[in-house]
């Protein structure tokens, strides 16, 4: 049992999570074409990373921004390590999430909202479009064809989340809200990252605003961390699930869909392959930096 000193910290985290969810719901964009759906009481909510898209969208964004000199090699290598861990282990490490919270989106400080949105379009085309899982995309389209609204729910910045939703023809998105003043990012977040319990807060707030019946809604995710969101709806589904979510889904009779290939390969082989890829990436980036600075 935690000490009394731990309680203020837990309360603070809960408050930050609640604020993040409320901010995401307030900032959510809705495509006007779907403002009056045929099935107004139902909607589907999709996590993005490893559910809609292979890998972590924030990493693809960060790599694209690095190529445009937004930040340093060291920053990118940190992101690369987290991405390698995410893809090999298939579950988000709480320590990595905490580190990400402390430094999330700091690299966009001083840049404008318009700049990120314009560059985001380029990054989607070059790094994200071909990583969309066709099976998940088909599930989203199924809901749209039934006259339901479809929302992305992700820790990625709301600007990028909305861009992905728009490019996929979805209703809208809920994402992490980065603070900006007069259209310029400060590098701070409104509340916290839209992660774990914050996603459930955002979905519930959106449902109340849009008049949705959560018992008639569906939710999709790959991560056990998204149980708060999955548990809100009447039709939860595990997509490319991590081991804990797969076990939970089986125990509760939830649908499971796995669109990955080669997932039965030996873990040792995966680790070696990812380590080699990481080492190659590090070497390439270091050499690029040496050439750039004339070292």
- Angstrom distance (rounded) from CA 219 to CA 13: 24
Q: Residue 103's pLDDT band (boundaries 50, 70, 90)?
A: low
pTM of the model: 0.74
Locate all alpha helices (DSSP H) within the chain, ordered by sequence.
Answer: 6-27, 57-66, 73-89, 94-103, 113-123, 134-145, 158-167, 197-210, 227-230, 243-252, 267-293
Q: What is the pLDDT of residue 133?
A: 96
Q: Which residues are catalytic?
A: 47, 49
By C-alpha distance, which of 232, 245, 248 is closest to 199?
A: 232
The pair of structure tokens assigned to 83 is 């991405």
pLDDT for 148-188, tens place per residue? 999 999 988 888 999 999 999 999 999 988 888 998 988 78
Q: Residue 15's pLDDT band (boundaries 50, 70, 90)?
A: confident
pLDDT for 225-235, tens place per residue? 999 999 999 99
52 pLDDT above the threshold of 80: yes
By C-alpha distance, which of 136, 140, 137, 146 is closest to 37?
A: 146
The pair of structure tokens assigned to 174 is 């809920």
16 pLDDT above the threshold of 60: yes
pLDDT for 187-229, tens place per residue? 788 777 888 899 999 999 999 989 999 999 999 999 999 999 9
Q: What is the pLDDT of residue 190?
A: 79
- The residues, ordered by sequence, that sit 6+ positions from 206 with a Cβ below 8 Å of its Cβ are 25, 28, 151, 174, 212
- Angstrom distance (rounded) from CA 245 to CA 229: 13
């Amino acid at each position: 049992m935690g000490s009394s000193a731990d309680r203020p910290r837990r309360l603070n985290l809960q408050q930050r999570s609640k604020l993040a969810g409320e901010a995401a719901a307030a900032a959510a964009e809705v495509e006007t074409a779907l403002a009056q759906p045929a099935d107004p009481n139902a909607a589907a909510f999709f996590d993005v990373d490893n559910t809609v898209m292979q890998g972590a969208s924030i990493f693809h964004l960060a790599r694209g921004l690095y190529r445009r000199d937004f930040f340093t090699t060291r920053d990118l290598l940190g992101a690369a390590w987290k991405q390698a861990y995410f893809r090999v282990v298939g579950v988000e490490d709480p320590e990595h999430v905490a580190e990400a919270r402390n430094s999330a989106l700091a690299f966009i400080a001083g840049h404008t909202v318009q700049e990120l949105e314009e560059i985001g379009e380029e990054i989607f085309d070059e790094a994200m479009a071909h990583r969309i899982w066709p099976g998940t995309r088909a599930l989203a389209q199924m809901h749209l064809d039934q006259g339901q609204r479809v929302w992305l729910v992700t820790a990625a910045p709301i600007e990028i989340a909305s861009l992905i939703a728009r490019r996929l023809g979805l209703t809208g998105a809920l994402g992490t809200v980065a603070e900006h003043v007069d259209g310029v990012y400060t590098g701070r977040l409104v509340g916290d990252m839209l992660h774990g319990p914050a996603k459930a807060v955002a979905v519930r707030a959106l449902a109340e605003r849009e008049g949705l019946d959560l018992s008639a809604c569906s939710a999709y995710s790959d991560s056990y961390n998204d149980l708060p969101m999955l548990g809100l709806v009447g039709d939860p589904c595990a997509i490319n699930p991590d081991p804990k979510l797969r076990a939970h889904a089986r125990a509760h009779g939830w649908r499971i869909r796995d669109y990955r290939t080669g997932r039965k390969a030996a873990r040792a082989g995966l680790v070696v392959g990812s380590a080699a890829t990481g080492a190659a990436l590090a070497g390439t980036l270091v050499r690029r930096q040496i050439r750039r600075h004339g070292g």
